[in-house]
Amino acid sequence: MNIRAPYLLFLGEGDRAKTAQGIAFWRPDRCAGQIRLPGCTADLGLPEITIAEAVRRGAATFVIGVAPHGGQMPPAWVDLVVEALRAGLDVASGLHTRLALDPRIAEAARTTGRQVFDVRHAPHGFAVATGLPRSGRRLLTVGSDCESGKMYTSLALEAEMRRRGWAVDFRATGQTGILIAGSGVAVDAVVADFIAGATEWLTPSAAADHWDVIEGQGSLFHPAYAGVTLGLVHGSQAEALVLCHDAARTSIIGYPTYPLPTLSECIEAYEHAARLTCPNSRCVGLSINTSKLSGPDAAAYLERAGASTGLPCVDPVRTSAAPLVDALSAL
pLDDT band at 15 (very low <50, low <70, confident <90, very high): confident
SS3 325: helix
Instruction: Identify the pLDDT of residue 16.
Output: 85
> Which residues, at least 6 apart from 147, have a Cβ–Cβ distance to it below 8 Å?
246, 253
264, 283, 263: which is closest to 274 by C-alpha? 283
Instruction: Identify the pLDDT of residue 120.
Output: 86
Instruction: Identify the pLDDT of residue 74.
Output: 84
pLDDT band at 76 (very low <50, low <70, confident <90, very high): confident
Instruction: Identify the pLDDT of residue 122.
Output: 76
Q: What is the mean pLDDT of residues 68-89?
A: 87
Q: Is the pLDDT of residue 233 over 90?
A: yes
Spell out the alpha helix ranges (H) of 99-149. 103-112
* Mean pLDDT of the residues in the chain: 95
Q: What is the mean pLDDT of residues 46-70?
A: 92
Instruction: Indicate the pTM of the whole model.
Output: 0.91
Q: Is the pLDDT of residue 69 over 80?
A: no
Q: Is the pLDDT of residue 41 over 70?
A: yes
What angle is formed at CA 45 by the lines to CA 154 and CA 84, rounded to 5 degrees?
85
- The number of residues making up the chain comes to 331
pLDDT band at 174 (very low <50, low <70, confident <90, very high): very high
Q: What is the mean pLDDT of residues 236-244?
A: 98
Comparing 123 with 271, the larger pLDDT belongs to 271
Q: How far apart are the first and last CA of the chain?
A: 33
Q: How far apart are CA 120 and CA 209, in angstroms?
A: 31
Contact by Cβ (8 Å): 218, 146: yes
Q: Is the pLDDT of residue 178 over 90?
A: yes
Q: What is the mean pLDDT of residues 181-195?
A: 93
Contact by Cβ (8 Å): 262, 221: no
pLDDT band at 72 (very low <50, low <70, confident <90, very high): confident
Q: 265-295, pLDDT tens digit by residue?
A: 999 999 999 999 999 999 999 999 999 999 9
The Cα-based distances of 253 to 48, 197, 223, 300 in angstroms read 36, 28, 10, 24
Q: What is the mean pLDDT of residues 240-254?
A: 97
Q: What is the mean pLDDT of residues 197-213?
A: 98
Q: For the chain, give the percent of residues with pLDDT over 90.
A: 90
Instruction: Identify the pLDDT of residue 70.
Output: 62
Q: What is the mean pLDDT of residues 108-129?
A: 91
